[in-house]
Amino acid sequence: MRRQEPPVTAVQHEIRHRRRRRLPLTLLALAVVVAGVLVLAIGVPTLWRYSGESVRLYADPEAHFRHGSIGSEPESGLPVRLWRVLPELFPETLGEEGYAAFGFLYAPGDSLDAGDLPVGVGTREVSGVELGWFNCAVCHTGTVRESPDAEPRLVSGMPSNNLDLHGFISFLLEIADDPRLAPDRVLAAMDEQGQELGWVERLVWRHAVLPRVREGLLATQAQLAPLLAEQPAWGPGRVDTFNPYKLIQFDRTLADLSEGERIGTADFPSIFLQRPRQGMDLHWDGNNASLQERNLSAALGAGVTEESVDHASIERVADWLLDLEPPPSPHEPEADSVAAGKALYMRHCADCHVYQEGERYVFEGERLGEVVPNARLGVDPARLDSYTEALRRDQLTLFADDQRYRFRHFRKTDGYANQPLDGLWLRAPYLHNGSVPTLHDLLLPPDERPTAFVRGLDVLDGDKGGFMAPDCTPGEPLDEGFCFDTRLPGNGNQGHDYGTGLEAGERAALLDYLLTF
């Protein structure tokens, strides 16, 4: 029986109306005004240059995934010329590493020195100025090394284990009112890099583009800074999925959020093999069973708006991901131990997470993709609590005039969804909030799991499964990585005690089988 959707309430109507009424000019809309003032002196071609949009197309679907625009740039993007000079303007933060300081990655052959943008930053020309902002790959491309001396291997579809998104966003908000973003300083840095601007372009940048950038950063600072200041730093490989969404998409303030919903930080998930996931309860808390709505919601989180969204681009990525397989596990545990571990896994784990058969993951299980109430699961509740019934009602106002894309399937759940484990070797740390560093640790009783460990490293741990994650002391400096403290709000490593009651030898065999996933 088809569920009847509730009518849009007066409050929802006001949310929708207010959101549309407050839509800002596009980032470069003022450029059109400036060009219009100059048209009598310099002719129609200048006015034509500062109007319309164009986007680069990529024939290769993986290149499109990594570099293509999904429509986030017009409302959220920074000018590409500015991306290129920020490391020169703020060397104390970006230094020689540039955006790699925040864990951004570069495709083979690309580099900061060449002026290339990182993986996960798409571009679109808007009103004559090229803008860059996030696409799907920013959260779903990572690196892996089998030894400390090996070159990092870039893997599309795995969680972005390197990316410190909290750090990058905080950096942008901090520099919003920095004198180094003043037009004179930025234009001088562009000149030093050899970025050529004609005199008309210089006028447009001085009086329209750069003031608009600062205005946008200050507005976002006012929206997000109070929330970020209240939350523990996310650390690499994690994001608060829905709280920034509430503030930016629906004009909420921190005061509008209850104390219990203000921290919802979780790991970036992998996005391999989406076709078998159709109909499963998606997101960590299983709040939507529609791949299309889940994808579109993620795009909104990346900076897309109802007006700027590029549906065709998002759907091209979604089609490619339907059958994207994870690379096979390089781990080669002893065959007899793997067989013994598989027998244990089939008894204790397969109903919820199904199983690996050789190099093929089998998506067949009675409870796969279903939500387990957290009263039974017992893991950290913060991510679950951050998704509220009020947010669900607000989401029903999105794309409300478009029958193809309007949201219909979001729901509030009481737990976390059973996830398929394909590509498990690339998905550490474990649990929804990344609070358990290795598979070995996940099979230990919660009070024996590491309290604080380093995350953000990409060297495989061939014995424990996952990445190397040494113990650390919060507050003490590290040569690399981020010290993750499970005692902070939202970071708890409790719960999911399945398998922890096995004998040590049985846990070792189960681990060997899991290493093959």
What pLDDT score does 45 carry? 36
Amino acid symbol at 400: A
Q: What is the DSSP letter of 6?
A: P
Q: Do 236 and 458 contact (CB within 8 A), yes or no?
A: no
Read off φ and ψ for residue 129, nearest 5 degrees: -125, 130
**Given CA atoms 134, 136, 139, 140 in this order, what sign does their dihedral have?**
negative
Read off φ and ψ for residue 51, nearest 5 degrees: -150, 155
**Given CA atoms 151, 156, 158, 161 in this order, what sign does their dihedral have?**
positive
Query: Among 116, 115, 161, 108, which residue's Cα sits nearest to residue 138?
Result: 161
- Coil, helix or strand for 306? coil
Per domain, the residue ranges of the chain are 1-51, 53-139+165-233
Query: Among 436, 466, 439, which residue's Cα sits nearest to residue 451?
Result: 436
CA 144 to chain centre: 18
Q: What are the CB-based long-range contacts (under 8 Å, 24+) for 29-34?
A: 29/127, 29/212, 30/207, 30/208, 30/209, 30/211, 30/212, 31/127, 31/128, 31/129, 31/204, 31/208, 31/209, 32/127, 33/208, 34/203, 34/204, 34/207, 34/208
333: CB partners within 8 A, 6+ apart: 512, 513, 515, 516
Separation between Cα atoms, residue 304 and residue 318, nearest integer Å:
16
Enter the tokens of residue 118.
């990182």
CA distances (Å), origin 258, targets 67, 243, 386: 37, 11, 9
Separation between Cα atoms, residue 35 and residue 359, nearest integer Å:
59
What pLDDT score does 323 carry? 97
Adjacent-strand bridge partners of 239: 266
- Coil, helix or strand for 132? strand
Q: What is the DSSP letter of 164?
A: -
Do the strands 415-417 and 371-373 form a parallel or antiparallel pair, or are they unpaired?
Answer: antiparallel
What pLDDT score does 10 carry? 37
Read off φ and ψ for residue 265, nearest 5 degrees: -75, 135
- The per-residue pLDDT string of the chain (517 residues; one tens digit each, 9 = 90 and over) reads 333 444 434 334 333 433 433 333 344 444 444 334 333 333 333 333 445 789 999 999 999 999 999 999 999 999 999 999 999 999 999 988 999 999 999 999 999 999 999 999 999 999 999 999 999 999 999 999 999 999 999 999 999 999 999 999 999 999 999 999 999 999 999 999 999 999 999 999 999 999 999 999 999 999 999 999 999 999 999 999 999 999 999 999 999 999 999 999 999 999 999 999 999 999 999 999 999 999 999 999 999 999 999 999 999 999 999 999 999 999 999 999 999 999 999 999 999 999 999 889 999 988 999 999 999 999 999 999 999 999 999 999 999 999 999 999 999 999 999 999 999 999 999 999 999 999 999 999 999 999 999 999 999 999 999 999 999 999 999 999 999 999 999 999 999 999 999 999 999 999 999 999 9
**Angle, nearest 10°, between helix axes 210-230 and 165-174?**
130
The HSE-up count of residue 252 (CA atoms within 13 Å, CB side) is 19
235: CB partners within 8 A, 6+ apart: 164, 166, 434, 455, 456, 482, 484
Q: Do 331 and 359 contact (CB within 8 A), yes or no?
A: no
Enter the tokens of residue 32.
């059109």
Separation between Cα atoms, residue 41 and residue 39, nearest integer Å:
5
